[in-house]
Amino acid sequence: MAFTVSARSREIGVRIALGAKSRDILAMVLGRSAVLALIGVTIGTAVAYAAARSMQSLLAGVEPDNIAVFAAAVALSLVMALAGTLLPAWRAVRVDPRAATRAE
């Protein structure tokens, strides 16, 4: 996300110059990160579930389809993904529109 925010700094600067509020920029960056995180968590959960099912004979005394464990892993992954986006989102909100449009 940090790379995406830095690559889109000119666009963000134009948005701010045209009157976008800080919360709009923050929602844009966090929303993009949330979509990517949800896609990754969905694919990862499906692969983990399939792997747990295929290795069921190797797991002694452990349920391979424990919903609580999958839910905790999904929640933790989403929280960490959004926490990792807070700094780039904060930087996006602080983009100076004059400097962003003058660059390049």
**Is pLDDT above 70 for 33?**
yes
**Is pLDDT above 80 for 103?**
no
pLDDT digits (tens, 9 = 90+) for 48-88: 888 888 887 777 777 777 888 889 999 999 999 999 999 99
Is the CB of residue 80 less than 8 Å from the CB of residue 40?
no
Using N-to-C axis directions, what is the helix angle for 9-17 and 22-54, rounded to 10°? 140
Distances (CA, A) of 97 to 13, 15, 68, 102, 103: 4, 8, 46, 8, 10
The full DSSP string for 9-53 is HHHHHHHHHTT--HHHHHHHHHHHHHHHHHHHHHHHHHHHHHHHH
Neighbours of 15 (CB within 10 A): 19
The model's pTM: 0.77
pLDDT at 46: 92
